[in-house]
Each structure stands twice: as C-alpha cells, then as structure tokens.
Structure 1
Amino acid sequence: MHPFDRAFRFVLPVGAVAVLSTVLAVGWFTQPDRFAKGYAPEQPIPFSHQLHAGTMKMQCLYCHSGAERSRSAGVPSAEVCMGCHKVTRTDRPAIQKLTQLYNAGKPILWQRVHTLPDHVFFDHRPHVNAGIACQTCHGEVQTMPVITREMGMRMANCLGCHRDPHAALPKDSKITRGPENCSACHR
C-alpha cells in the first residue's frame, strides 16, 4: 500500500468529519440569544398581549397589519396605539410615555422578539393567507403578559411544519406540504 493511500482512505475522511463537527458545534453553541427559545427583550413601553389579545380579544392583524400584505408583520406605530389611548387609560405612566412619543412625532422603539438570521427569508403573507394561526409559531400570545419566544428559530421547526402542515392549517385547506427547496427560505 502506498503511503498516500492511507492518508486518502483514513486520515482525510476523519479530518473532514472533525472539521465539520467543529463548525456545526460552534454554530450551534454560539447562536445569539435573540434566536433562542425563551428570548424576551425589555420593551420601551410595557405591553400586555394577555390584556389586549386575550381579555379584550383584539385580533393580531389590528396591530400587526403588515402580515397579510407584506413580508414582515410589522410592529404597531404610536398612531395605532393612540387610536384607543387618546381616551383610554390616559392616567397610566406607560400611556403617558406613549402620548409623549406620539406628540413629539417619535417612533416607539420596540425590540423584536422573533428574529431570524440574515440568511433566512421569511414571508408572513403565504402563512397568514393560508389560514395558519399566529399562535402556531408565536405561541399562545393571548396568555402572555410579556411576549416570549416560544419556538426556537431553528430550521427543523420550519421543515417539520412544511413537511406535515396539517396541524397548523384549517381543516378545509387543500395544502398538503410547504416548499422544502433551499431557495424557498434561503436567499
């Protein structure tokens, strides 16, 4: 056996597996907190989805109106909040802060809870328009006083639903699978 044969048959494959394992392990364990389950950044104004979406039964699309017509669901502007809070609970410190921002023409600097890595493309429109409930990915927000990420933002979660979407879709849906090709989510 030639000395190089041993290298090609044993050393190179073992080395390749070691390098690949190291890269995957580093990628997994150095994932930023903003992609992990349980992430709940502090918001500039305390907002309870439990009160608004739960007790008051406000629809998600009232505040996150972009979900039906754009890639991003968006976060509500001060104008949306002031639609009610010009007259409702105006004595509360958080609403007074909201009013100050609104009167000054400043945006509310909400901190995103559900973020994806830059190399991932996600569009809310096909999901919302297929009838998939927001709670499928975002958790039971109507029970959360503080929004917390309930689903880890891992590719396996998305692929699991794309391969078997029946639990997420309305019973009368004709959709049997979501796209699984790489370019559907990675651009």
Structure 2
Amino acid sequence: MKKICVFTGAATGNNPIYRDVATETGRMLASRGLGLVYGGGKMGLMGAVADGTIAGNGHVTGIIPHFLNDIEVGHPDVKDLHLVDSMHERKAMMYDISSAFVILPGGLGTLDETMEVITWRQLKQHSKPIIILNQNGYWDHLLALFQSVIDNDFMHNDHIDHFEVAQNLEELGNHLDKFA
C-alpha cells in the first residue's frame, strides 16, 4: 500500500472549512486505497484527517514523540501509532515510509515539515511528489514568498517544480489518483 504523508495543524484554525477539508482529505485517501501517515495526534486538523481516513476504513499510521503525546494527545483510534523519542525521529520515520506528501493548512510545525521536505527534494535526497493544498488561498503568502526568493536569485525558477499546488479538493483528488 502506498502511504501519503499529510502535514497539517494540531489546531483547527478560525475557518471551519479547513476541518472539513482535512476530514475529506482523509476520506479521499481511504477511497483510493492510500494509507495516511501523519503526526499521530487527535487534536485539530491532524485529528480530522485521521478521523476521515478511519471513517473511510483506511489505514492510518501515526507518529508522535512522547513529549507531544501529552499535549497533542495520541489518537486513540489509530491502531498503528508509534511513540518516538524526538521530533527528528518522527520526521525521519514519516519521510521514510511515505510515497508522497500533502500539505494542508497548519502552523509552524507544518511549515517546518514542508520546508524540510521541499529542501530535501531540491537537494535530490528524494523525488517523492509534494502537493500543497491551497484551499481558500491559505498558502498564497508562502507561494508569493517562494516567488520572491526566486526573484532575488536565492532559488532557481525550476525549483518551483519540486512541488505541485492544488487549489481545491477536486484538484487534490486528481493528484491522488496518480498514486492510487
């Protein structure tokens, strides 16, 4: 089974559409026979994407550091939940077992994971697909920042090809169909 790593927030944000998008992303993975790999928590959008996958009878692999298990609280319905010692171990395991990455709305943790996986692709450490879901323009400023980095000659224009952008769930579904 191919596993798709989803980076997203442990909070729900202030727009209810993001929770719906996370839940539907999980259902989409399950309906295509794709497993979910995620941060292991039951809170926020992370919990919603896991709930959606579980509701669709999909496979979920959660990876959460011991110290975060008390804050984000490991998802009790995730049968394949791994407790690890550090954030570095969490990210390494997520990257190793995933076939592709999907970025949903989130905060600093989501940005950290996103930048690292894009940087690793730029450095040819992997060639796995990366899809940024820009629902409601959530990532517009990040995408503009990437363009500014290119415009100021700190990144080559062809590096923008290291990830794809889906503007809505339908486009995300089209990308996921390539992996199913």
Structure ID, larger Rg: 1
Larger relative contact order, structure 1 or 2 (CA cutoff 8 Å, min sep 6): 1
TM class by smaller structure: under 0.3
TM-score (norm 1): 0.23
